[in-house]
Homo-oligomer: A and B are copies of this chain.
Amino acid sequence: MKRQGVLLVVSGPSGVGKGTIISEVMRRHPDVRRSISCTTRVPRPGEVDKRDYFFIGADEFAHLRDSGRLLEWAVVHQDLFYGTPREPVEEALAEGCDIILEIDYQGARSVRGLLGDRATLVFIAPPQWDALAERLEGRSTEDKEATRKRLASAVHELAHVELFEYLIVNDDLAAATDGLEAILMAERTQVNRLDWRPFVDGLLREAGQ
């Protein structure tokens, strides 16, 4: 039976383990793809255009944004823009490909506004605040100011759980991964995503109706 792809929008505080959970779900389901963002920042060594990001100029970014062709966008470090181009996501969903999008709650809200029920919003929460704080403080690559900012945004993220359809508490990585996988599997069988009419009509024809 043909179906629309599932768009899993996964949010949650920095350090909660979103990336690890998503990678493991994608390892189990190699047909699931990550959405590719566009950005105005320059490629880092090893990054490939159209694989890691769509690397574009500020003018092109502004044009995409102002013509409604981004599902969501954000500005980082005051002058670097990141966004999710709408067209590749729409195309993938129409072909029945499942997409995972890892963004913050503001991005999730924007996607919900533009795609409605076609997006599945999943929030991943830490079991305790201390576990999250320790994890962020343990990221040796960052200075204290960066950690403080991440903890402040974690508070904002947590205050917006009600935007989401699903909430997974990552107190056990394997269980949280199983949880995200179950959401993917369940959403694949949602009636409003399936092209069920030709299938049921076929059954009824076979039955002589």
Which A residues contact B (CB, under 8 angstroms)? 1, 123, 125-126, 128-130, 133, 151, 154-155, 158-159, 161-162, 164-169, 178-179, 181-183, 185-187, 189-191, 194, 196, 199-200, 203-204, 206-207, 209
Contacts and interface: CB of A to CB of B under 8 A. Distances in A.
A16 B138 CA distance: 54
A187 B179 CA distance: 10
Question: What copy number does this chain have within its complex?
Answer: 2
Contacts of A178: 185
Contact of A161 (B165, B169, B196): B196
Contact of A129 (B158, B181, B185, B206): B206
Contacts of A133: 207
A151 B203 CA distance: 12
A155 B189 contact: no
Query: A interface, by DSSP: helix, strand, loop or mixed?
Result: helix
A125 B203 contact: yes
15 contacts: A123-B191, A125-B199, A129-B204, A155-B209, A158-B204, A161-B191, A166-B190, A167-B191, A167-B196, A168-B189, A179-B189, A182-B182, A182-B183, A182-B186, A186-B186
Nearest to A122: B189
Contacts of A167: 189, 191, 194, 196
Given A186-B182, A191-B166, A200 B130 contact: no
B179 A191 contact: no
Contacts of A166: 186, 189-191
